[in-house]
């Protein structure tokens, strides 16, 4: 996924890889500092008050997945508006935008839902696999624009 959406996915993936024994009152801050990109972790998860109250890795990881879902929904809505305006009709950007919409639709209707179900069931490696698929869809979306020699209007949405 583009920009913030990608950070949400990366943060979620990093959180899955941390040991659960880290829980304490300052869990959010300490966990973010243990990721590969503490700034992105704080930036993405810090906007959601419930992540600041998390005391366990599953709670914080669930928030990371929620952030990714919210961002993907926002991007889907913005893509829908762009289609409705028709300003990209018949253009390379329009073709790439249509491909992105299909990718995001699959991600929203399957990968993120499956990842969430696996997370709730405690099947973290399965959750990671589905979220990785979702992140790959975001990367493929960006590639769709690059392959057409166009700037990504999806990145602009972030």
What kind of fold does domain 57-157 have according to CATH? Butyryl-CoA Dehydrogenase, subunit A; domain 3 (1.20.140)
Mean pLDDT over 12-30 rounds to 57
Residue 51 in this model has a pLDDT that exceeds 50: yes
* 53-89 per-position pLDDT tens digit: 777 777 777 877 887 788 888 888 888 888 888 888 8
pTM: 0.67
The token pair that represents 52 in the structure block: 């600041």
Smallest CA-to-CA distance from 64 within 76, 75, 74, 50 is with: 50
What does the radius of gyration of the chain's CA atoms come to, in whole angstroms? Answer: 16
User: Taking 80 as the threshold, does the pLDDT of residue 8 lie above it?
Assistant: no
**Alpha-carbon distance 152 to 37, whole Å?**
24
More confident site: 47 or 21: 47
pLDDT of residue 149: 92
Residues of the chain with CATH 1.20.140.40: 57-157
- Whether the pLDDT of residue 21 is over 50: the answer is no
């Amino acid at each position: 996924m583009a920009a913030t959406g990608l950070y949400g996915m990366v943060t979620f993936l990093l959180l899955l890889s941390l040991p659960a024994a880290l829980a304490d009152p300052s869990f959010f801050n300490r966990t973010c500092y243990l990721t590969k990109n503490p700034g992105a972790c704080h930036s993405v998860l810090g906007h959601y008050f419930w992540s600041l109250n998390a005391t366990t890795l599953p709670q914080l990881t669930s928030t990371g997945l929620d952030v990714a879902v919210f961002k993907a929904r926002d991007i889907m809505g913005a893509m829908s508006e762009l289609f409705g305006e028709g300003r990209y009709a018949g253009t390379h950007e329009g073709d790439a935008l249509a491909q992105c919409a299909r990718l995001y639709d699959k991600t929203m209707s399957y990968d993120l839902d499956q990842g969430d179900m696996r997370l709730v069931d405690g099947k973290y490696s399965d959750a990671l696999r589905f979220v990785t698929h979702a992140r790959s869809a975001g990367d493929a979306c960006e590639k769709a624009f690059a392959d057409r020699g166009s700037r990504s209007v999806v990145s602009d949405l972030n």
